[in-house]
A and B are shown apart, each in its own frame.
Chain A
Amino acid sequence: MLEVRELMVFYENGMAINNVTLAVERGEIVGVLGSNGAGKSTLMYTISGIILDRKLKEQRRGGERITVFGEVVHRGEKITGLKASMRVRRGIVLCPERRRVFPESSVLENLKIGAYLRDRSEQREMLKYIWRLFPNLFQLRSRAAGFLSGGEQQMLAIGRALMAKPDLLLLDEPLLGLAPAVQVKVIEAIRHIREIGITVLVADQYARPLLPIIDRGYVLESGSITLAGTGAELRENPDVRAAYFGV
């Protein structure tokens, strides 16, 4: 359902993404593994379209010059030039790195913002689902999001993205800065999300918890894909084990 073809992204001082081609099929969980600075976030920004906004903003300020080559194809249509808001309408929703919840708004309000495109009955339906997925968010529903713990904020961010009823959910570093026990909860949630028919593309550097749940994965190193395979293949790969498992 999503294809990225020969994608290249340049920032002013060099290349962030070098000739990346990848595909995500309906119903899959696809992982992108990479260490810091490998280009995971740039890839996510490019797929979600946020890079276009950044590009315009930076150019107007005369700052960083961002250049994008290649194609992003969603359900057979090229969406490379489409604005981020239009991509959300098509069902591509990003849950950004570092959560970016609205700290002054309550948990419930945060979720409602995510459902901007949805009518009330859909909102209620998704809300019910999210309360089931993350029961402790329901307890915290009227608390300001800024006072939640890191793990709760991550769950809220995923919940907010889900409220848009995506058919492709992009998760950028959902495990960042979480305790192992909390990472397990998030991983469980991702598995659950797939079961209701949402395709997931997840980028992270924590291979150990991530690899067991992904169908396929790509390893990104300084902007290029160096390895691709099923989750099991990657788990057995000696290079991956050395780089991400520390053995």
Chain B
Amino acid sequence: MAKRRERIDRPIRVLTEDIYALESLSRMIYVAAPSVFPVLFLLLLPLFTPSLYMQRVLILTAVYALLALSWDFIAVATGLVSLGQALFFGVGAYLAAILNLHFGLPPMVTLLVSTFAGAAIATALVAPCLPLRGVYFAMTTLVYPLLLARTIEATAVLGGTDGLVGIASFPNVWVERYLVLAFVLGATFALRRLLRTDFGLVMRSISDNDQAVRASAINITVYKLVAIYLASALGCFAGAYFTHLYMFVGLSAFSLDLSILPIACAVVGGMGTLVGPVIGAFVLVPLAEMVRDLGTLRVVFYSLLLVALVLFKPEGLMSFLERKYRQIERWVQV
């Protein structure tokens, strides 16, 4: 008799909404593990990466994770494809530098201010493009970082091509290491949480079918603005953090890499899951460093791997892992 492969959810006991039963230990571990282990892993990681080089790779990874998260959030919450993560990064980076150099604010304060004020500036810049969709939105956001970078270059304000130097660094290495990791974790969980609220429901619906949302008497521009604001806050934080880390800011804060690599991270990790892009960053960025020894061939290897991942696991690592964790496959008689 013929057989087919069936995929079913792992048997779980039904828990009602307001009864939290403490069951067997294995059951509790099964429920908690997907969130607890990654958090522990991330928090312990700086303790086991002794060399300065490794620390810097870790930090770079976290920064790209933030940008990837920001990209994915825009995609989930508004359905728009942004190619301008570098805009958010650059605005945050320059704002932190200005606040520190001209107003003498300490790093912790500049981080806070440039995250929130920087996001407001970036949102104001992107706001006119919000009615656009698809390729048109992508194009305009791609141009913004170039616009700002060339303005700085041409008018020689803010240090011109030399950039700004002499920016204060963090009080100590532990603050430096944990600040960004904590922010990655906090932002991931907060945004995931947000998408599950009623507010997030509207956001997800906008990316599904914005006309139907408008037909429900909801002003979608407000929601899109909030989404862009939150996403740019992540990017601005990453930029401001980087400025203080290297005590320098230059035109590289608007570089194209900062817009493109986060998208690769999101695609590899699994678009639309928010956690996926973070995982993607933790795969791709260290990988890029590892293949650095291969010289010119590194780009070849890196690209091949990227193509293979997208071709054979287009659902993304996160969706794949989640499916393997939550579901079992078995053969059944037909």
State which residues 1-55 of B face A: CB under 8 Å: 2, 4-7
State which residues 183-209 of A face B: CB under 8 Å: none
Contact with A62, one of B5, B6, B319 (Cβ below 8 angstroms):
B319
What band does the interface of chain B fall in when counting residues whose beta carbon is under 8 Å from A? 10 to 19
- Contact partners of B2 in chain A: CB under 8 A: 69
**Inter-chain contact A65/B315, CB cutoff 8 Å:** no
- What is the interface of chain A mostly: helix, strand, loop, or mixed? mixed
**Inter-chain contact A61/B334, CB cutoff 8 Å:** no
- Compute how far the CA of A65 lies from the CA of B4 in the bound complex, rounded to whole angstroms: 10
Asked if A76 is an interface residue, CB under 8 A from chain B, the answer is no
- Contact partners of B6 in chain A: CB under 8 A: 12, 65
Asked if B301 is an interface residue, CB under 8 A from chain A, the answer is no
- Contact partners of A36 in chain B: CB under 8 A: none
- Contact partners of B314 in chain A: CB under 8 A: 60-61
Asked if A161 is an interface residue, CB under 8 A from chain B, the answer is no
Shortest B205–chain A CB gap in Å is 21
Q: Which residue of chain A lies nearest to B2 when distances are taken between CB atoms in the complex? A: A69
**Inter-chain contact A12/B7, CB cutoff 8 Å:** yes
Asked if B323 is an interface residue, CB under 8 A from chain A, the answer is yes
A50-69: contact bitstring with B at CB < 8 Å (1 yes, 0 no)?
Answer: 00000000001111010101
- Contact partners of A60 in chain B: CB under 8 A: 312, 314
B296-325: contact bitstring with A at CB < 8 Å (1 yes, 0 no)?
Answer: 000000000000000011110001100100
- Compute how far the CA of A67 lies from the CA of B6 in the bound complex, rounded to whole angstroms: 9
State which residues 1-53 of A face B: CB under 8 Å: 8, 10, 12
- Compute how far the CA of A62 lies from the CA of B7 in the bound complex, rounded to whole angstroms: 11
- Compute how far the CA of A37 lies from the CA of B75 in the bound complex, rounded to whole angstroms: 32
**Inter-chain contact A62/B315, CB cutoff 8 Å:** yes
- Among A10, A61, A62, the one with the most B-chain Cβ atoms within 10 Å of its Cβ is A62
A73-91: contact bitstring with B at CB < 8 Å (1 yes, 0 no)?
Answer: 0000000000000000000
**Inter-chain contact A62/B4, CB cutoff 8 Å:** no
- Using A60-B314, A63-B315 as known contacts, say yes or no to A8 and B334 having CB atoms under 8 A apart: yes
Q: Can you offer 23 A-B residue contacts whose CB atoms are under 8 A?
A: A8-B334, A10-B4, A10-B334, A12-B6, A12-B7, A60-B312, A60-B314, A61-B314, A61-B315, A62-B313, A62-B315, A62-B319, A62-B320, A62-B323, A63-B315, A65-B5, A65-B6, A65-B7, A67-B4, A67-B5, A69-B2, A69-B4, A69-B334
* Contacts A12-B6, A67-B5 supplied; 15 other A-B pairs, CB < 8 Å: A10-B4, A12-B7, A60-B312, A60-B314, A61-B314, A61-B315, A62-B313, A62-B315, A62-B319, A62-B320, A65-B5, A65-B6, A65-B7, A67-B4, A69-B2
Which residues does A use to contact B, with CB under 8 Å?
8, 10, 12, 60-63, 65, 67, 69
